[in-house]
Amino acid sequence: MGKGCVTATKYFLFLLNLLFFLCGGVIMGFGLWLLLDNQSFIVVLNDSTAVKIACYILIAVGAFSMLLGFLGCVGAIYEVRCLLGLYFTCLLLILLAQIAAGALIYFQKEALHDETAKVIGKVLDGYPGNNSAVEQAWDFIQRSMECCGWTSRQDWNGNMIIVNSSMLLFPCSCQNISVATGNISDSGFCEAQTTDWPVYDTGCASSVESWLGTNIGVVLGICAGVAVIELLGMILSICLCRNIHTEDYTKVPKY
């Protein structure tokens, strides 16, 4: 490989790693958003250890990707073979881990669905209407997606406040605004005039699955883009590493 090609590869690898660094920042930010946003769907599932672990993994992967991008930039600009070799190895391990994670999610879809239904069932049964973060998130989901319960409105029949109340209560955030009368509340419980609640008949599970189906192309596109960046980074790093014959570690800044 000529000197000009080596130089071009070096700077292209630097730009690629800069992009990789930014992608890592996006992944870490997404994980933090899932944990901290009071209106995200994850808030409803905060009793699930698996969901929390997934969020922490996203944060860790994002931080590691940022570190890896930084090392790749340094290794490319200063032509340090050990850093390029380490960078290639880490990218290979990350790519294999992503493939394994994708396969695990695909083959454990039913278990994930059951875990989600179990956690949400506990949320609905213990919903006291005191406007906590979990309740705000669930109320937001029911209002915005125009749904009630997880599979259907019947999921609310196990709520202790509704069961023990002498009045006919139903969750206000389920209220179908097209048939509701009087004041419409955003949260807590409302009183029904008859046993036929003026609520949406559709469960939120179908609405969430529909949203995921609509946006799955974006998710798959992002995953494919990240995989292409990783493969390109691996190819460029190994090519550059093979064509650097001597390491001049005096080039590496000593700060």
Give the DSSP letter string of 26-63: HHHHHHHHHHH-TTSHHHHTTT-HHHHHHHHHHHHHHH
Tell me the mean pLDDT in the region 183-208.
80
Give the largest CA-CA distance in the chain: 85
The tally of CA atoms less than 13 A away on the side-chain side of residue 250 is: 0
Residue 50 to residue 57: CA distance in whole angstroms:
10
Q: What's the distance, Cα to Cα, between the start and end of the chain in Å?
A: 32
Of the ranges 20-34, 207-221, 229-243, which one carries the lowest mean pLDDT score? Answer: 207-221
pLDDT of residue 247: 46
CA distances from 185 to 161, 162, 172, 175 (A): 17, 17, 6, 8
CA torsion, ordered 177, 183, 185, 191, to nearest 10 deg: -90
CA distances from 95 to 23, 26, 61, 116, 226 (A): 14, 18, 12, 27, 9
Whether the full predicted model's pTM is greater than 0.85, yes or no, is no
Tell me the mean pLDDT in the region 124-129.
79
**Band of residue 94 on the pLDDT scale cut at 50, 70, 90:** confident
Tell me the mean pLDDT in the region 107-123.
78
pLDDT of residue 42: 57
Greater pLDDT, 46 or 239: 239
- Give the H/E segment covering residue 189: strand 189-191
Mean pLDDT highest for which of 30-44, 137-151, 233-247?
Answer: 137-151
pLDDT of residue 45: 58
- Per residue in 142-166, pLDDT (tens digit) is 888 888 988 888 889 888 888 888 8
Of the ranges 191-200, 216-225, 242-251, which one carries the lowest mean pLDDT score? Answer: 242-251
Of the ranges 29-33, 121-125, 181-185, which one carries the lowest mean pLDDT score? Answer: 181-185
Residue pair 232/16 in contact (Cβ under 8 Å)? The answer is yes
Residue 234 to residue 218: CA distance in whole angstroms:
24
Q: Is the pLDDT of residue 249 over 50?
A: no
Domain ranges of the chain: 3-250
Tell me the mean pLDDT in the region 19-43.
73
Q: Is the pLDDT of residue 98 over 80?
A: no
Q: Is the pLDDT of residue 17 over 50?
A: yes
Q: Is the pLDDT of residue 206 over 60?
A: yes
Mapped onto helix, strand or coil, the DSSP state of residue 95 is helix
Give percent of the chain above pLDDT 70: 81
Q: Average model confidence (pLDDT) for the chain?
A: 77
